[in-house]
Structure 1
Amino acid sequence: MAQEAICKYLEARFGDKSQPLQEKVKQHTEIEKLDKIINKIYTIRSIEEAGAVINGTGKN
């Protein structure tokens, strides 16, 4: 469920160029990690920030 919400947001915000990030999100299975991503993803300003959040290196 969290994976789907994150992917839908990325698609709506960044379109097709978010596809690689969506694939990374789909690889995450830990609910804690997905919760952290979903709590931070709505405050990002760029696709680069989204990548940092998804990779665990941004928006601490």
Structure 2
Amino acid sequence: MTSIDRTPAEPDIHARRLGWLTAVTGLLPVAAAVILAAVGQTEAAAVVAVTGSAVTGTQVTVNIRR
């Protein structure tokens, strides 16, 4: 029987890059805040943490039309 599923076997290269970009964008401010806090720059760490949470808290929705 022929499958009617048209989903590609592998995700598109752009979809994979978007996933990595999202992960790095979220991880970078956390790592920067931890490093700044570890070296004693608590004020700078707080600013980076607040800015990072504001930036990564933004949600983008993509609507696919067929």
Normalising to structure 2: TM-score of the pair? 0.30
Rg larger in structure: 2
Normalising to structure 1: TM-score of the pair? 0.32
Bigger share in helix? 1
